[in-house]
Amino acid sequence: MANSNLPRRIIKETQRLLSEPTPGISASPSEDNMRYFNVMILGPTQTPYEGGVFKLELFLPEEYPMAAPKVRFLTKIYHPNIDKLGRICLDILKDKWSPALKISTVLLSIQALLSAPNPDDPLSENIAKHWKSNEAEAVETAKEWTRLYASGA
């Protein structure tokens, strides 16, 4: 099982990720496991995450692309759709996954999620409540966490 060739699809995607990176996103496979990627996403401008560098990890399971990549944040982030362990509530990672999607579309969607938090479909109940009851204050907390944990230093 450990000795199989990397599927062509994954090789092509990896080459694309490296040769034509999306602005604000980088993803590179780890040396000892080409299905395991170190990912960095820059906090989008005009969001509470602006200026932050967010580390994520991504893994392509054996069934990929029939199954979605597994991905989570390693950097702490204050966001209603991301929990304390960095797990992400995003439909395309669950029931809306399609083999037509790719690593790059997943990462773009995560970047978009940072721009558009959705407290009505929360993963972190407390953060979602905060977002709905006092958005200005929740945004301040998110900025504070970006400064504390995602400053890239």
Partner 1 sequence: MSLPVSMSVVLDTIMCQTLTSRIIPRNFRLLEELERGEKGIGDGTVSYGMDDGDDIYMRSWTGTIIGPHNTVHEGRIYQLKLFCDKDYPEKPPSVRFHSRINMTCVNHETGVVEPKKFGLLANWQREYSMEDILTQLKKEMASPHNRKLVQPPEGTYF
Sign of CA dihedral 4, 40, 81, 92: negative
Residue 105's SS3 state is helix
Say how far apart CA 139 and CA 64 lie, in whole Å.
Answer: 36
* Residue in this structure with the two tokens 């790719």, named with its chain if needed: 102
Residue 35 to residue 32: CA distance in whole angstroms: 9
- Only one of the segments 35-43, 108-116, 121-129, 138-146 lies at the binding site for partner 1 (rule: CB under 8 A); that segment is 35-43
Q: Which of residues 4-23 bind partner 1 (CB under 8 A)?
A: 4-6, 11, 14-15, 18-19, 21, 23
Quote the least distance from Cβ 3 to partner 1, whole Å: 5
Binding mask 89-128 for partner 1 (x = CB under 8 A): ----------------------------------------
Calpha distance 29→57 (Å, rounded): 10
Measured N-to-C along each axis, helices 8-19 and 103-115 cross at an angle, to the nearest 10 degrees, of 50
Which among 89, 93, 110, 150 is annotated as catalytic?
A: 89
* Least separation in angstroms between CB 29 and partner 1: 7
Of the candidates 68, 142, 145, the residue with the CA atom closest to the CA atom of residue 107:
68
Helical H segments across 20-94, by residue range: none
Interaction residues for partner 1, span 40-99 (CB under 8 A): 40, 42, 57, 59, 61-62, 70, 72, 74, 76, 84-87
Q: Which is nearer to partner 1, 44 or 57 (CB)?
A: 57
Of 33 and 135, which CB lies nearer to partner 1 in the complex structure? 33
Residues near partner 1, by CB under 8 A: 1-6, 11, 14-15, 18-19, 21, 23-26, 28-29, 31-36, 38, 40, 42, 57, 59, 61-62, 70, 72, 74, 76, 84-87
